[in-house]
Structure 1
Amino acid sequence: MSAQPTDGSSGAVVAAALAAILDAFGAARASEYLGESVTVADHQLKTAACARAAGAAPALIAAALLHDVGHVADHDSADALRRGEDIRHEDTGSAWLARWFGPEVTEPVRLHVYAKRYLCAVDLGYYDTLSPISKKTLAMQGGPLEGAELAAFQAGPYAQDAANVRRWDDAGKDPDAVVPPLASYDELLAGLVRVPHAE
């Protein structure tokens, strides 16, 4: 990634975050996405492009770009992905990203699977828009939300952001879509990285 801030420790934190994301995308380029027709990296780039096209705020574009990083952020998740399994990649990814980003990025990532379950519960036509793989994982993820889970999701401050990321996620699986590269998000990501304040 090209952004290399030089303002002391803050610049080092930003550079470390961008380098870690670049490494994660390197792993994701070689990772099949549970049988989808795109790799994990391609899918994330296509999802972010959908968010950009919708005029989303920078934090939400970042969440779209990084929503599936949990599939490749640690060895257990990467091994599960190779087996065609999903071991709560949304939690893994959110926790990994929290080293550098605030909840405006990490919460839509953490909630994007719940958002799929939410949309299946409240939008009668939504299920039919899911890919066959996403329909299969819905069952593994608990099916449509209901009762207390549904109410809790709807009451959360990031419910709408997560639902937006989810819809872009669903749209980001076109193997023929041509989208900007990861480097085009350097400045946006650098501007969102949280850096320690001097005492």
Structure 2
Amino acid sequence: MAGDAYEELRRLFEGEEARDYLGEPVTQAEHMLQAAALAVRDGAPDSLVAAALLHDVGHFHGVVTGAELMAGTDNRHSDTGADWLARWFGPAVCEPVRLHVAAKRYLCAVEPGYFARLSAASRFTLAVQGGPMTPDEAARFAGLQFAAAAVRLRRWDERAKDPSAVVPPFQSYREMLARLMSD
């Protein structure tokens, strides 16, 4: 089971969908690998490293594609990705994935200067995804069990767009993913 799941995930990183990243200077695969490498560098637990590695898989599996997101239709990739990953992983991996878009909206609402650090593509998608949270939405988000993990993931997500970054390949996460699938 874990071997088949790993192969399915690996194929995503090598597939056509992983090549374009919606107006960013890196591919989708490079972006997710960079996010995982930042999580490792920051000493994140394996579940959060896996969430960083897999956080945008919903762009590949939704009814609405990432290209349509850039055309102005919210593809709800965080929910699609979390639901798809739940076949193999528990909430410690899936819920930060589910909440990473909400974390962007949250940070734009509560952290002065966060919006200015977003890439042009991320600013555009923020508007499509509902814009900064209201104070009530931000308070509700902050109370969620996986909110802090999603905020950490979001910070890596924003920094994981460096075309000159050198990071470990997807295969280097095989044992970690297998452990998490068996938990």
Report TM bin, short chain. Answer: over 0.9
Give 1:29 deviation, angstroms: 6.0
Give 1:28 deviation, angstroms: 5.5
Deviations 1:40-66 (A, max 9, x none): 111000110100110100000000000
**How do 1:86-101 and structure 2 match up within 5 A?**
86-101=74-89
Name the count of aligned residue pairs.
180
Matched, 1:82 2:67: yes
The match for 1:6 is: none
More deviation in 89-98 or 28-37? 28-37
The match for 1:42 is: 30
Matched, 1:105 2:90: no
Q: TM-score, normalised by structure 1?
A: 0.86
Counterpart residue identity of residue 137, structure 1: T
Tell me, in whole angstroms, the C-alpha distance in 1 between the residues paired with 2:142 and 2:9.
30
Counterpart residue identity of residue 90, structure 2: G
Q: Quick one: which of 50, 66, 69 aligns to 1:62?
A: 50
Give 1:31 deviation, angstroms: 3.2
SS at match of 1:193: helix
The question of whether the paired residues in 2 share the 8 Å contact of 1:29 and 1:39 is answered with no
Give 1:97 deviation, angstroms: 0.2
Tell me, in whole angstroms, the C-alpha distance in 2 between the residues paired with 1:41 and 1:171.
14
Counterpart residue identity of residue 67, structure 2: R
Moved over 4 A (4+): none
Give 1:82 deviation, angstroms: 3.4
**How do 1:143-154 and structure 2 match up within 5 A?**
143-154=131-142
Give 1:33 deviation, angstroms: 1.1
The alignment yields a C-alpha RMSD, in angstroms, of: 1.5
Cα distance, 1:60–1:135 mapped onto 2, change above 3 Å? same
The match for 2:125 is: 137
More deviation in 105-114 or 26-35? 26-35
Deviations 1:126-156 (A, max 9, x none): 1111111101111111111113321211100
Give 1:169 deviation, angstroms: 0.3
The match for 2:39 is: 51
Matched, 1:116 2:104: yes
Q: Name the % identity.
A: 52
Tell me, in whole angstroms, the C-alpha distance in 1 between the residues paired with 2:21 and 2:59.
9
Q: TM-score, normalised by structure 2?
A: 0.93
